[in-house]
Amino acid sequence: MQKELWKGNEAIAEAAVRAGCDAYFGYPITPQNEIPEYMSRRMQEENRVFVQAESEIAAINMVYGAAAAGMRAMTSSSSPGISLKQEGISYLIGAELPAVIVNMMRGGPGLGTIQPSQSDYFQATRSPGHGDGHMIVLAPSGIQEAVDLMQDSFDLADRWRTPVMMLADGMIGQMMEPIEWKQRPAAPAADKPWAANGQGERGHTNFVTSLRLDSVDNEAFNEALQQKYADIGRQETRYEAVDCEDAELILVAFGTTARIALSAARKLRQEGIRAGLFRPITLWPFPTQALQQVAGHPNVRAVLTVEMSAGQMVEDVRLALCGAKPVHFFGRTGGMIPEPAQVAQEIRRILKEEQA
Amino acid sequence: MSQIVYQRSAGLQDVETHYCPGCHHGIIHKLIAETLVELDLCASAVGICPVGCAVYAGNYLNCDFIEAAHGRAPAVATGVKRTHPNLPVFTYQGDGDLAAIGAAEIMHAAMRGEKFTTIFVNNAIYGMTGGQMAPTTLEGQKSTTSQLGRDRQHHGLPVRMAELLSTLDGMAYAERVCVADMPSLHKAKRAIKKAFTLQMQGIGFTFVEVLSTCPTNWGMSPVAAGQWVKDTMTQYYPLGVIKDVEGTL
């Protein structure tokens, strides 16, 4: 199929339309404004629902309502707005509702900057909102992958009755790349017998709630939730390993930073330094076992995690490797983007240090 | 021959409620239940319950329900109604939920003219959390967070939500009622039924504010609490139709 040039935010919005998103609710914030702008027109063309909410809080709660009533619903925002959505995400988890949330990360803390960042990794992967919850977190490294994952995200949300976050950054939202719209088999309509959409002939009412006031009930729910998370970990973990087979140093990076890290690795190959890239695609569940396998190879002398943050995913890398290999970190913060030459220099330094 | 003259509405589930003696939530639930039955909406309605004493309303009324985060019921209802425009959708919210933490959500739902109904239960206090001051607490009224009485210099004066929201063009119908005696109860029933009827005609946002009791947190007997609604609350919150665009469009 012919390739088309698309801007990241608009491509993600179109991918959601093609994935059968029934309703979009959003609020303006840079650098993701093209998503609600595009949706305001496209959803109307498709006779679907678009509402510009009064706040990110209202938008995520509109998603909660549409999802509770059985629809495929999504919202998008960027870091400060995602902070406001944390309450709603916790309720989505507590009520086991499927929903898709896009975070085009920008540099924080506070109002920070509109430039790209990856500093919401902790917020997305540790436990969004309050309580012992998780959501599936997908991290595309380019617009083609963002489009493909966007379409998967609605299926994953329905399959596991969970919110799914696409965690990208302002770079992916704002740049343009050629993409191909792949023909995908339509996902079978998910059976949602729990939806609150009128009891009709069902014979009983549905009550979608995250309230389980009796602690015994709430513990049973939490245990079932953890069981579900274990199943998700076994079945949905995704990653990519590039040039890792003979590598003496493994770079670990996701999203935009993974592309920069790969540029550095390829540059170093020309100098005879064998660096490979391990790229988590699901940040939660984190591909722990795959990383252990890749980094556990006897050739590997060190691991370098590269992020646009002060060091967040590096904690998962250290937890995965448990001291089996030295884990280093290189990051830029506040909206600054690492350059391939900087990463390459860091690799040279580390290998020299490990040799000594 | 014996004849049934009164029985539990089919719009209610066959369970006991957790409400305190003298609380009006049960009566208000009954009026909604009767309305759903009379308009044949039990099979299609979706209710959104708040955080507050009515958090379990979905266990009491015989229709589908969604439990919202504190104050967010109007946003949740927007998500349901926009994706299911033919279903009757309503929120059931208390005064802390609607007038404090959820003030933005209710304002904007009214502003957009969302075509659902809100039943706003105003008992001038936070009930479930133990009697704290609400935006609706009357001047001089004591609560656990206004122990010397609400002071206008310190706290400002209470908000009349039905009047405030009626300034917005999206509001189609707003009425304030109470259920403290039988004539008032009948008026309340008519108001709730009218709100649902207008909703199904799709003319805009419909809102019924019901003045209600909280004997437990007011420190009153059920009888005295009902009397306080009639004698004191209605002085600041006058009963009656505040806005009705029916027939004017």
Decide if A67 touches B, using CB distance below 8 A.
yes
C-beta atoms of A71 and B83 within 8 A: yes
C-beta atoms of A196 and B72 within 8 A: no
Return the pLDDT at A356.
79
Selecting from B63, B67, B75 the residue whose C-beta is nearest the C-beta of A205 gives B63
* Residue B193: pLDDT over 90: yes
Return the pLDDT at A233.
98
Return the pLDDT at A321.
98
Residue B161 within a domain = yes
pTM for the complete prediction? 0.97
| Closest CA in chain B for residue A74 | B79
Q: What integer is the mean pLDDT of A300-328?
A: 98
Residue B155 within a domain = yes
C-beta atoms of B64 and A63 within 8 A: no
Residue B18 within a domain = no
Residue B2 within a domain = no
SS3 annotation, chain A = CCCEEEEHHHHHHHHHHHCCCCEEEECCCCCCCHHHHHHHHHHHHCCCEEEECCCHHHHHHHHHHHHHCCCCEEEEECHHHHHHHHHHHHHHHHCCCCEEEEEEEECCCCCCCCCECCCCHHHHHCCCCCCCCCCEEECCCCHHHHHHHHHHHHHHHHHHCCEEEEEEEHHHHHCEEEECCCCCCCCCCCCCCCCCCCCCCCCCCCEECCCCCCHHHHHHHHHHHHHHHHHHHHHHCCEEEECCCCCCEEEECCHHHHHHHHHHHHHHHCCCCCEEEEEECEEECCCHHHHHHHHCCCCCCEEEEEECCCCCHHHHHHHHHCCCCCEEEEECCCCCCCCHHHHHHHHHHHHHHHHC
**CATH number assigned to the domain comprising residue B185:** 3.40.50.970
Reported as a single tens digit per residue, the pLDDT across A251-287 is: 999 999 999 999 999 999 999 999 999 999 999 999 9
Residue B10 within a domain = no
Chain B positions touching A211 (Cβ under 8 A) are: 55-56, 67
Reported as a single tens digit per residue, the pLDDT across A150-193 is: 999 999 999 999 999 999 999 999 999 999 999 887 777 789 99
Domain at A239-355, CATH class: alpha beta
Residue B91 within a domain = yes
Mean pLDDT rounded to a whole number for chain A? 97
What domain range is B140 assigned to? 25-243
For chain B, the domain total comes to 1
Chain B positions touching A66 (Cβ under 8 A) are: 79-80, 82-83
Selecting from A63, A65, A87 the residue whose C-beta is nearest the C-beta of B66 gives A65
Residue B16 within a domain = no
| Closest CA in chain B for residue A210 | B67
* Residue B249: pLDDT over 80: no
- Tell me the CATH number for domain A4-191+201-236: 3.40.50.970
Residue B13 within a domain = no
* Residue B248: pLDDT over 90: no
Chain A positions touching B108 (Cβ under 8 A) are: 53-54, 58
| Same fold yes or no, A4-191+201-236 and A239-355 | yes
From the CA of A122, how many Å to the nearest CA of chain B? 24
Domain ranges of chain A: 4-191+201-236, 239-355
